[in-house]
Each structure stands twice: as structure tokens, then as C-alpha cells.
């Protein structure tokens, strides 16, 4: 029989029992839909995390105290392990590949202003921070070199802090008090949104690091040094250069390990997406199992169908169908069923992931590869689970089949 | 009569069914020759082996021993595929229970054998099926589904299906078994007409009225041929039909 004829015969017998065909396909539809939905959610989560980390700046290089070989956690053992402003200055002086360097001093506390108060992290940074984080002000202006040099008590508010402390008035020109130290608000930063970890980046106050060190932290040590490579191609080289300068600055001998860690954003992104990758695989595995169950459903129905249609098989054989014709007919039928189910499942998957995105606000990303694999798998399911029933049909004896009631 | 005109030649044909320890000798040695253009009625008591013989002649079943030549070609010992092709090309089979595909139009039912025609002998299967349906007087019922047709009409669709491949042999196992007298006569008139045009017909029947329409009667008893004689006073179905129609 010609392929076109075969296909027509298969589609006709599928169409003849629409309700049952629909129910048969349901397993595959749900299976494929689930695979695509799950992978879309997983990929969406992954790309969101990646994006929000890369939002910090692809060119950004982060130096933190402590060695990463001890599990990435700062040991903080002794002053030699600490970062100091000297390190940042040395980097700024000697680095060829970093366009901007800023130390970051971290503290925090209750911030009072007018009648209200609010608790937020307080960062002491250099002017270059604006460029490194790509974080301009929405209102007012950034502090300048002069403010840093003379440790002026000026600050910039993250938009969350600005809204909390000054809901009805312009914060610029107002004063806030942190641990009895008054700061003049000279600007409000642009809204950045949440980090991948769900942290509100706008819930912070930024001031010159000199001021923060002198008035609030009272310490020499700094939490991190941020740098920005000239271009994303330079990041790796810039990191190596920064490490070399840092080793020199800390006076490390050749045999000594780094007592600091240099990372870039893609390192962080990789670490974060690693977990979502595991999740995606797990979700896909669960969805794959439902696809398998769908396949067994097809086999079940095809077996029932062969029994039910024994007479039809007998008739076909009586008028000249070869066993091979009958085998191919049933095989094509189950493959058409499963591929049709797969195609509908892809539609359901698209709809489902759109719905998830719509209802939860999670981004979802339909993966072409997942669609391809799901469709291919459903065709394979059709062939694999259709073969046994088809062979059973082909093995029937015409007389026995015709007599079957 | 020359060998060339022999359609069926059976020699010492035996069929034994084994059911556990029991052996049923359905056919015990049949010698039978049917030549082109004959119209043979096969009669006999229930269980005498008529259907068994018919199924073997129709290549639906294989004999336990003996030889079977169809159109001069040995067909005992052929494999399942070869038998399928013989059924498709040489034989039209009409069953007592019609055996049409359910929920399928008359047209599609008649086209069915052409679907499995490996030689593609009909350039236009749909046209061939239409022609066959017209020949049995159902040209206007082409698109009716099986369950929308009367018993007589269903049997005529089945006959059209048997004819569509232009076989050399039309076999019928109790073709009128499920039909009333008048409809039976209509079917016999159709057989008669086909036979008059040269088609070889062999049919199984219980009824003397039906057998009387044939040119030759064979009677089986316990798997053996006990009577084989020409019909002297042949009944002409079309004429009877015209008479009853007028009455
Ligand atoms: N598949 C089978 N297995 C075992 N025995 C069978 C089988 N088919 C037929 N027989 C036996 O073979 C014998 C002949 O059966 P067959 O069907 O040929 O009779 P028949 O002449 O057509 O009878 P009827 O007029 O009732 O249709 C019977 O005894 C029957 O029981
Ligand atoms: Mg019988």
C-alpha cells in the first residue's frame, strides 16, 4: 500500500472513534505538555537568575577576602586575610585592564528621618561605583571625588528607602540620621529591582566610603573591591591581573595561596544556574515518566482495538490484505495517534507555560530542543508501544478473525 | 474440456482439525473439478464440511493434505502473503454475514480490495468501485453507511466488493442465509446474470430453491462428495422475480 493511502486509512479509523482516540491521546498530550511546560519553567527560572546576575554587569570583577579553596567562605583569620583601602588604591594605580575600581564598606543600622525610621544596609563606596554598577541617580546627583576626599556626610538613597522615609516629599535636600551621624541626602538612585535571590537592591543607602569608615564602621577593613573591565573580552585577563596585584599588595610568597578571591558575574551565574539545571532535569524526568505512562495507555487501547476489530482485520485479510499490510496499518495508526497527541501536547505545553507565566509572573522560556525531543519521543512511543498490538493483529488467521464475535 | 478452462481442480483434498486429543475429519478426500462458466451449488447437512471446503477453495484456509490447483496454479502450500494475493486477484468471496466494514460507506467497502491490489490493475479505484456498485443496482446508495442499508442491499454491496477486482471465481458461503425469500431471489438473479456473462460461481446453500438456480449440484456428507449432478430443470431467478413482482 502506498504511504498516502496508509495514512488515510489510519486517519479514517482514528476519526471513526473520535472520543476514544482523544482519550487515548490524552496520556501523550499530558506527557508532552508536561515536558514542555516543566522545561519552560526551568529554563525561565534559569534565564531569570542569569539575567539578574548579569544585570549587575558582565564586566564586573568582584574581589572578596578569604580564599575560595576553603569552600568559598571567608575564613577571616587575622588581618592578613582582610581587604583594605590600600589594596583598592594599588589596584586603581597599577591595573591596566580595569577601568574603574571601588572599595565597598558595608554597615547598616536604623536610619531616622523626620518622624519615621527604617533599617537598611549602608554601603560606603567610591565614585567609580556608579560606573561599575551602572547605577545613576533618578533625582539629585552622585557625590564627587571632593566629597570622598574630605569624607563629607552626604548620601544617596535607594528608591525603597526614599519611599519609606520620605513618602510625600522630595528626599533630595533632606537629612537622615544614622547612629547619631547626620547625612545630607543629595540624590535618589534609579530603581534596580530584585536580585536573583529575591533581595531588594533598592533597599540601601550609599555614601562615600571614607565617610562610612570614619563615622560609622570605624574600621580599616572593607567587604569587597569592585572593578570593571574595559570590555567583556578582557574580564579573564583583568581577573588574573587583579589577582597578581593583590598578591603583591598582600606580600604573598610564591608558595602561599591567595588570601582573597577574584570572581566575575558569570562565575556567580554558573553557580546559581547549576541548581536550576538540576531542577530542570528533575522536572523533565517526571514529565518523561508521564510520557511513558501515556505510551502504555496507547498500547493498552491499541490492544483493545485489535481485539475489537478482529472482524475488520479478518475482512481486510479476506479481500487480500497481507499480514504485513495489517501490521503496518496498526503501526501507522498508533504512530499517528501518538504524534497527533504530541502535536496537541506541544500546544498544551505552550498554553500551559504561558498560563504559568501569566498567573505567577515567572518568566518561562519554550525550548525548541525540548519540543523536538518531546515530539520525537512521542513518535517513538507510538512505534514501540504500537508494535506488539500490530503484530498481534497481523498474526491473526483470516478464518478465525472472521468468525470472531 | 481443455485444461485451460479448468478453474478449480481438487485432488484427494483432506482437512483434519485437531482439538486436543480429538481429531475432526472435516474433509476426507475431495476430488472436484470446476470449469470456467459453471455455476455450482454445494449442499449437505450441517457439519458435512461445506464451509471448510469453501474456505479452502477461497484460499482463506489451507488443506491438511491433497492438491488444489486454481487457474492451473498449485495453491496448496503457498505462504500467507501469496494466499493473500490470490484472494485479492482471483477470488471474490461473499459471506453469509456480509462482513462489511461497519460505519463505512458502501463505496469505501467496495474499494477495499483495490487498496491491497499490488498490481494496481485499476487505474481509478473509485471509478471501479462505482461501476461495481452500479452493476449490483446500488449506484444511488454509494455514500450510505453499512448500517443504513437493508440486509439485501448489504449483501449486494458485498457482491460488488467481490466483483471489483474482476476475479475469475465468485465464491459464496450461504449468501442468502440471512435474507428473506424475495431478497434471496434478487441475489440469485444477480449471480445468474454474472454467470451468464461468464463468471464462474460456486455457492453453498441449504435451500433446494436456491440450489435449483445453479447448473450443477454437489452434495457433501461427512466430508465426502456423495452426489454430483447437473441441474436438469434449472430455475431462472430473474424470471421468477419478474412473475412475483407482477403478482
Ligand atoms: N476451526 C475448527 N476447529 C475444529 N473443528 C472445526 C473447525 N471448523 C469446522 N470444524 C468442524 O468441521 C466440520 C465441518 O464444519 P463446516 O463448518 O465445514 O460444516 P458446514 O457443512 O459448513 O456446516 P453448516 O451447514 O452448519 O455451516 C464440523 O464437524 C465442524 O465441527
Ligand atoms: Mg457452513
pLDDT attached to residue B207: 93
The verdict on a CB contact (< 8 Å) between B81 and A324 is: yes
pLDDT attached to residue B225: 97
**Residue B136, CA distances (Å) to B63, B106, B159, B212, B244 in order:** 33, 12, 7, 22, 20
- DSSP summary character for residue A190: P
E strand or H helix at A26: helix A18-54
Nearest-by-Cβ selection for A322 from B60, B81, B112:
B81
Query: Do residue A193 and residue A295 come from a single domain?
Result: no
Confidence of residue A143 (pLDDT cuts 50, 70, 90): very high
In a domain, A93, yes or no: yes
Question: Which set of grid coordinates corresponds to residue B182?
Answer: 424475495
Encode pLDDT of A90-142 as tens digits: 888 988 888 889 999 988 888 888 778 899 999 999 999 998 888 899 999 99
Structure-model confidence comparison of residues A203 and A51, the more confident one: A203
**B104 interaction partners in chain A (CB closer than 8 Å):** 16
Residues A276/A46, Cβ–Cβ less than 8 Å: yes
pLDDT attached to residue B27: 96
Encode pLDDT of A351-380 as tens digits: 998 898 888 777 777 778 878 888 888 888
The average pLDDT across A149-153 equals: 92
In a domain, B130, yes or no: no
In a domain, A121, yes or no: yes
Q: Whose CA is nearest to atom 8 of ligand 1?
A: B52
Encode pLDDT of B46-98 as tens digits: 999 999 999 999 999 999 999 999 998 999 889 999 999 999 999 999 998 88
Query: Do residue A233 and residue A88 come from a single domain?
Result: yes
Residues A126/A224, Cβ–Cβ less than 8 Å: no
Query: Do residue A244 and residue A314 come from a single domain?
Result: no
Query: Do residue A174 and residue A236 come from a single domain?
Result: yes
Question: Which set of grid coordinates corresponds to residue B179?
Answer: 435474507
β strands within A5-51, DSSP E: none
Does the structure's ipTM exceed the value 0.90? yes
Query: Do residue A80 and residue A216 come from a single domain?
Result: yes
Q: Cell 596585584 appears where?
A: A245
Please say if the pLDDT value at position A277 is more than 80: no
Q: What 3-state DSSP class applies to B36?
A: coil
Domain CATH number, residue B94? 3.40.50.300
Instruction: Find the domain containing B208 and state its range.
Output: 3-99+167-244
Instruction: Find the domain containing A372 and state its range.
Output: 3-52+270-403
The average pLDDT across B136-155 equals: 93
Angle of helix B181-196 versus helix B237-246 axis, rounded to 10: 140
Distance of CA B186 from the midpoint of ligand 2 (Å)? 22
In a domain, B23, yes or no: yes
Nearest-by-Cβ selection for A319 from B55, B87, B104:
B87
Structural Rg of chain B based on CA atoms: 18
Q: How many domains does chain A have?
A: 2
Look at residues A229, A258, A287 and tell me which one is the last residue of a structural domain: A258
Q: How many domains does chain B have?
A: 1
In a domain, B13, yes or no: yes
Q: Beta strands B6-19 and B65-70: pairing type?
A: antiparallel
Q: What 3-state DSSP class applies to A225?
A: strand
Confidence of residue A73 (pLDDT cuts 50, 70, 90): very low
In a domain, B64, yes or no: yes
Cα–Cα nearest to A115, from A164, A156, A153: A164
Structure-model confidence comparison of residues A297 and B223, the more confident one: B223
Q: Cell 501518538 appears where?
A: A338
Look at residues A224, A258, A292 and tell me which one is the last residue of a structural domain: A258
Please say if the pLDDT value at position A165 is more than 50: yes
Confidence of residue B247 (pLDDT cuts 50, 70, 90): very low
Residues A34/A287, Cβ–Cβ less than 8 Å: yes
Residues B22/B192, Cβ–Cβ less than 8 Å: no
Q: Which pTM does this prediction carry?
A: 0.71
The residue of A318, A328, A399, A405 whose CB has the most chain B CBs within 10 angstroms, and thus the best one to mutate to test that interface, is A318
Sorted by sequence, the CB contacts under 8 Å of residue B193 that are 6+ apart come out as B238
How far is residue A99's CA from residue A382's CA, in Å, rounded to a whole number?
59
What percent of chain A has a predicted confidence (pLDDT) above 70?
91
Query: Do residue A156 and residue A235 come from a single domain?
Result: yes
Encode pLDDT of B50-62 as tens digits: 999 999 999 999 9
Question: Which set of grid coordinates corresponds to residue A213?
Answer: 569608615
Query: Do residue A83 and residue A47 come from a single domain?
Result: no
pLDDT attached to residue A48: 74
Query: Do residue A390 and residue A327 come from a single domain?
Result: yes
Q: Which residues in A have their CB inside 8 Å of a CB on B?
A: 1, 5, 9, 16, 311-312, 314-325, 398-399, 402
Query: Do residue A284 and residue A386 come from a single domain?
Result: yes
pLDDT attached to residue A53: 67
In a domain, B77, yes or no: yes
Q: Whose CA is nearest to atom 19 of ligand 1?
A: B47
Question: Which set of grid coordinates corresponds to residue A31?
Answer: 506527557
Query: Do residue A380 and residue A338 come from a single domain?
Result: yes
Encode pLDDT of A291-311 as tens digits: 788 888 888 888 888 888 899
pLDDT attached to residue A77: 43
How far is residue A373's CA from residue A35's CA, in Å, rounded to a whole number?
9
Give the mean pLDDT of chain B.
Answer: 92
The average pLDDT across A171-183 equals: 91
Encode pLDDT of A10-65 as tens digits: 888 888 888 888 888 888 898 888 888 888 888 787 777 777 666 666 788 889 88
| Window from A59-73, A338-352, B134-148, B160-174 with minimum mean pLDDT | A59-73
**A398 interaction partners in chain B (CB closer than 8 Å):** 60-61
Query: Do residue A217 and residue A77 come from a single domain?
Result: yes
Nearest-by-Cβ selection for B116 from A16, A320, A399:
A320
The verdict on a CB contact (< 8 Å) between A321 and B116 is: yes
Distance of CA A356 from the midpoint of ligand 2 (Å)? 64
pLDDT attached to residue A220: 67
Look at residues A258, A293, A323 and tell me which one is the last residue of a structural domain: A258
Q: Whose CA is nearest to atom 17 of ligand 1?
A: B51
Which ligand ends up closest to the CA of B61?
Answer: 1
Residues B69/B36, Cβ–Cβ less than 8 Å: no
Give the mean pLDDT of chain A.
Answer: 84
Amino acid at each position: 500500500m502506498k504511504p498516502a493511502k496508509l495514512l488515510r486509512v489510519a486517519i479514517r479509523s482514528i476519526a471513526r472513534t473520535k472520543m476514544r482516540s482523544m482519550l487515548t491521546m490524552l496520556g501523550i498530550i499530558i506527557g508532552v505538555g508536561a515536558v514542555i511546560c516543566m522545561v519552560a519553567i526551568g529554563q525561565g527560572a534559569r534565564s531569570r537568575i542569569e539575567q539578574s546576575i548579569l544585570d549587575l554587569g558582565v564586566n564586573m570583577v568582584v574581589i572578596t577576602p578569604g580564599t575560595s579553596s576553603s569552600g568559598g567562605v571567608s575564613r577571616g583569620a587575622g588581618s592578613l586575610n582582610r581587604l583594605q583601602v590600600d589594596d583598592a588604591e594599588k589596584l586603581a594605580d597599577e591595573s591596566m585592564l580595569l577601568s574603574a575600581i571601588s572599595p565597598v564598606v558595608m554597615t547598616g543600622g536604623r536610619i531616622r528621618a523626620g518622624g519615621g525610621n527604617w533599617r537598611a544596609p549602608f554601603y560606603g563606596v567610591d565614585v567609580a561605583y556608579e560606573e561599575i554598577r551602572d547605577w545613576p541617580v533618578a533625582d539629585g546627583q552622585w557625590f564627587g571625588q571632593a566629597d570622598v576626599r574630605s569624607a563629607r556626610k552626604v548620601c544617596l538613597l535607594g528608591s525603597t528607602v526614599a519611599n519609606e522615609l520620605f513618602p510625600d516629599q522630595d528626599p533630595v535636600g533632606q537629612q537622615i540620621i544614622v547612629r547619631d551621624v547626620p547625612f545630607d541626602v543629595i540624590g535618589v538612585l534609579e530603581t534596580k529591582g530584585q536580585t536573583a535571590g529575591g533581595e531588594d537592591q533598592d533597599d540601601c543607602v550609599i555614601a562615600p566610603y571614607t565617610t562610612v569608615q570614619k563615622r560609622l564602621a570605624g574600621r580599616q577593613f572593607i567587604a569587597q573591591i569592585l572593578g570593571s573591565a574595559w570590555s567583556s573580552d578582557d574580564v579573564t585577563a583583568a581577573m588574573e591581573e587583579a589577582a597578581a596585584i593583590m598578591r603583591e599588595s598582600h606580600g604573598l610568597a610564591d608558595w602561599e595561596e591567595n588570601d582573597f578571591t577574584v570572581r566575575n558575574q558569570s562565575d556567580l551565574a554558573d553557580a546559581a544556574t547549576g541548581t536550576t539545571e538540576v531542577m530542570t532535569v528533575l522536572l523533565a524526568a517526571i514529565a518523561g515518566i508521564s510520557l511513558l505512562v501515556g505510551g502504555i495507555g496507547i498500547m493498552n487501547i491499541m490492544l483493545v482495538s485489535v481485539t475489537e476489530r478482529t472482524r475488520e482485520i479478518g475482512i481486510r485479510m479476506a479481500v487480500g490484505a497481507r499480514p504485513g499490510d495489517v501490521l503496518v496499518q496498526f503501526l501507522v495508526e498508533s504512530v499517528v495517534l501518538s504524534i497527533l497527541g504530541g502535536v496537541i501536547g506541544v500546544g498544551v505545553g505552550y498554553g500551559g507555560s504561558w498560563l504559568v507565566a501569566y498567573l505567577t509572573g515567572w518568566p518561562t522560556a519554550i525550548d525548541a530542543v525540548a519540543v523536538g525531543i518531546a515530539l520525537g519521543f512521542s513518535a517513538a512511543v507510538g512505534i514501540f508501544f504500537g508494535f506488539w498490538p500490530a503484530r498481534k493483529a497481523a498474526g491473526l488467521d483470516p478464518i478465525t478473525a472472521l468468525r470472531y464475535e | 474440456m481443455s485444461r485451460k478452462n479448468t478453474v478449480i481442480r481438487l485432488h484427494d483434498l483432506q482437512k483434519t482439525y485437531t482439538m486436543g486429543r480429538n481429531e475432526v475429519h472435516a474433509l476426507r478426500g475431495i476430488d472436484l473439478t470446476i470449469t470456467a462458466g459453471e455455476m455450482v451449488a454445494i449442499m449437505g447437512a450441517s457439519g458435512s464440511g461445506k464451509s471448510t471446503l469453501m474456505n479452502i477453495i477461497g484460499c482463506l484456509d489451507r488443506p491438511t493434505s491433497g492438491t488444489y490447483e486454481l487457474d492451473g496454479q498449485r495453491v496448496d502450500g503457498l505462504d500467507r502473503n501469496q494466499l493473500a494475493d490470490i484472494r485479492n486477484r482471483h477470488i471474490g468471496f461473499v459471506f453469509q454475514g456480509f462482513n462489511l466494514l461497519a460505519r463505512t460507506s458502501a463505496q469505501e467497502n467496495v474499494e477495499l480490495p483495490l487498496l491491497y491490489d499490488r498490481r494496481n490493475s485499476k487505474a481509478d479505484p473509485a471509478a471501479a468501485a462505482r461501476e461495481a456498485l452500479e452493476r449490483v443496482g446500488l449506484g444511488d446508495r454509494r455514500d450510505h453507511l453499512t448500517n443504513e442499508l437493508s440486509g439485501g442491499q448489504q449483501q449486494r454491496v458485498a457482491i460488488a466488493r467481490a466483483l471489483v477486482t474482476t476475479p475469475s471465481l465468485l465464491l459464496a458461503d450461504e449468501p442468502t442465509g440471512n435474507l428473506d425469500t424475495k431478497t434471496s431471489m434478487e441475489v440469485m438473479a444477480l449471480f445468474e446474470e454474472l454467470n451468464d456473462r461468464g463468471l464462474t460461481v460456486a455457492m453453498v446453500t441449504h435451500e433446494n430453491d436456491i440450489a435449483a438456480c445453479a447448473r450443477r449440484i454437489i452434495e457433501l456428507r461427512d466430508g465426502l462428495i456423495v452426489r454430483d449432478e447437473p441441474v436438469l430443470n434449472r430455475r431462472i431467478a430473474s424470471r421468477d422475480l419478474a412473475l412475483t413482482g407482477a403478482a
